[in-house]
Amino acid sequence: MAFSLPVSAAIAIFAFAPYQAKAVPAFAEQTGLPCQACHVGGFGPQLTPLGREFKLDGYTMRSKSSNIPLSAMAIASFTHTKADQNPPPDGVNHPNDNVAFDQGSIFLAGGMGQHFGGFAQFTYDGVGKAWSWDNLDLRAVTKGRVFGQDAVFGLSLNNSPTVQDVWNTTPAWGFPYTDTAVSGTPGAAPLIDGGLAQNTLGLSAYAWIGQKFYLEGGAYTTPKAGTLSWLGADPASPGDIHGLAPYGRIAWQGQLAGGTAQVGAFALKAQINPERDRSTGLTDHYSDVGLDTSWQKPTANGDVISAQLRYVHEASDLHASCELGLIGAGGDPGCAKTNLNEVRGDIGYSWHNKIGATVGAFSITGDSNADLYGGPNASPDSSGVMAQLDYTPWGDGTSPLGTRFNMRVGLQYTAYRKFDGAVHNYDGAGANASDNNAVRVFTWVAF
C-alpha cells in the first residue's frame, strides 16, 4: 500500500481524535454558572453564545474572587465493529468488542484579572499508554471601540490551528466531540483537520466587534524536536514548518429565525520539511481554505436546536516527499500534486440540556493518485454518517458529588458508505466499507 504524508497526517489526526473532548469544571466554578450556561447539552465542548463570549473575553469572567484552577476528565468506551479487525488496532489485543480507557486529562484553567486567561491540557492516552501535552489556548485581551461598536481585542497562543475558535464548525471542535480510538477510520484528511495539532505553536491576533464581526490573523511554527519529544508529541509527523505558516479567520454572527446564526471562512498555508529532512532543499506545500456556517436556537421550553456545516478544500504539492522517496518514485516532481475536499455537517437537538440526539454526515473526496493512496482505486474518497444519543444528568450543577462533577453517557453508531476509495474491496483484500461500521458506548466524566 502506498504511504504518504497526507495518510500519515490522517493517522495522527485520528489517533488524537478523542482529545477533541473538552470539559473544564474549573471554569464553571470561576463563573458561578452551571455547565449548561456555556455548553449545549450541559457538557462540553459545544458552546452556547454565552460560552463563545466567555472564550473571546479571554476566559476572564468570574463571580468568585478565587477558585481552584484545576480540572480533570476521563473517557472510557466499548466499541463493536461489524467485522473483526485484522490485525487488531494498535494498543488493544482483540479484533473486536474492545473495552478501552480512551483518555484521562488534567487541565490548568482559569482567568487572571481582566486581561489574561486560558487553559493547558495534559492527556494520558489509555490506548497508546503515553502522556503528552494536549490542547493549549492562552489569551491576553483588552476592550475598546471600533466604528462606535464595543470590541474585544485579543492574542491567542495555541498549539493547533482552529483550537482557538469559538464556533463548533472548525476542525478542532467539530462533531463528534469524542470519537473512536480502536476502530477503522478513513486514511485521508486535509492538513488543517488535526494534522498540525500538538506539533506546532502559533500566535494570532483577533478582534470581536459589536458581537457580530470576528477577524483573526496569525502564524504557526514548529518547536524543536527535543521540545516536542519532551512534551510527548511526535516531532517527525508531519515534519517541521519552513518559516511560518499563516492562518486567517473571518466570521459574522447575528440573529436569524429566532436563533443565533454564523457564517465564516478560514485558511491555512504551510510549507513543511517532511520528517524534518531538509536535504533536498524542497518543501511540501499545503493550501487549505474552508467555509463554515452554524445556527443555534433555544426553544421556549428550554431545549436547544443546533446545526453546523463546514467545507474545506486543500491543494497540495508534496515535491519534497517525492524527492526523498517517502512517496512515489524518487525524483518525480508530479507524483503528489493533488486536491482534497472535505464536507462535514451535523444537526442536534438537546432536550432540557439532559438528553441529546445528533446526526452528522461526512464526505472526503479527492484526486486519485497511486503514489498517495493504496487500494484498487488509489482514491481518498470516504463518506458516511454518524448518529449519537447522550444523557447528561447534572449539566445544571446539581450532582450529588458536588457542583464540579459532571458526567455524560452516550451511544454512537457510525456507518460508512465508502471507505478509502471504494464501497467494496477497498483494500484489495476483500474488505468492504461497511465492515468498519461501529457501535460505541462511552462514559465521560469531568470534575
Which pLDDT score, from 0 to 100, does residue 377 have? 87
Which tops the pLDDT comparison, 172 or 21? 172
Question: Which of 306, 410, 294, 254 is CA-nearest to residue 39?
Answer: 306
Burial 410-423 (b: 16+ CB within 10 A, else e): bebebebebbbbbe
Task: Look up cell 492516552; give the residue.
Answer: 125
Among the four given CATH numbers 3.30.70.270, 3.30.365.10, 2.40.160.10, 3.90.1300.10, the one describing domain 5-446: 2.40.160.10
Which tops the pLDDT comparison, 10 or 396? 396
Which pLDDT score, from 0 to 100, does residue 289 have? 98
Which pLDDT score, from 0 to 100, does residue 4 have? 40
Helix, strand, or coil here: 296? strand
The secondary element (H helix, E strand) that includes residue 226 is helix 225-230
Is 67 within 8 Å of 26 (Cβ atoms)?
yes
Residue 2 banded pLDDT, cuts 50, 70, 90: very low
pLDDT tens digit sequence for 180-234: 889 889 989 999 999 999 999 999 999 999 999 999 999 999 999 999 999 999 9
- Please determine, for residue 6, whether its predicted confidence score (pLDDT) is greater than 60: no
pTM score of the predicted model: 0.92
Which pLDDT score, from 0 to 100, does residue 17 have? 40
Q: Of 9-23, 199-213, 296-310, which gets the smallest average pLDDT?
A: 9-23
pLDDT tens digit sequence for 386-403: 999 999 999 999 999 999
* % of the chain surpassing 70 pLDDT: 94
Which residues share a beta bridge with 284? 272
Which pLDDT score, from 0 to 100, does residue 246 have? 98
Is 303 within 8 Å of 350 (Cβ atoms)?
yes
Name the CA radius of gyration of the chain, rounded: 21
Which pLDDT score, from 0 to 100, does residue 334 have? 67
What's the grid cell of residue 46?
A: 459545544
Amino acid at 33: L
Is 138 within 8 Å of 118 (Cβ atoms)?
yes
- Please determine, for residue 383, whether its predicted confidence score (pLDDT) is greater than 80: yes
* Rounded Cα distance, 233 and 376, in Å: 33
Which pLDDT score, from 0 to 100, does residue 330 have? 61
* Rounded Cα distance, 188 and 297, in Å: 33
Helix, strand, or coil here: 330? coil
Mean pLDDT of 141-163: 97
Mean pLDDT of 50-62: 97
* Rounded Cα distance, 299 and 302, in Å: 5
pLDDT tens digit sequence for 264-293: 999 999 999 999 999 999 999 999 999 999
Question: Which of 167, 94, 128 is CA-nearest to residue 19?
Answer: 128
Which tops the pLDDT comparison, 421 or 4? 421
Cis peptide before 176 (omega within 30 of 0): yes
- Please determine, for residue 19, whether its predicted confidence score (pLDDT) is greater than 60: no
Is 284 within 8 Å of 322 (Cβ atoms)?
no
* Rounded Cα distance, 70 and 172, in Å: 22
In 25-68, DSSP assigns E strands to: none
Between the CA of residue 67 and those of 32, 108, 113, 115, 279, what are the distances in Å?
10, 12, 13, 17, 51
Mean pLDDT of 369-392: 93
Which pLDDT score, from 0 to 100, does residue 16 have? 37
DSSP state of 63: S
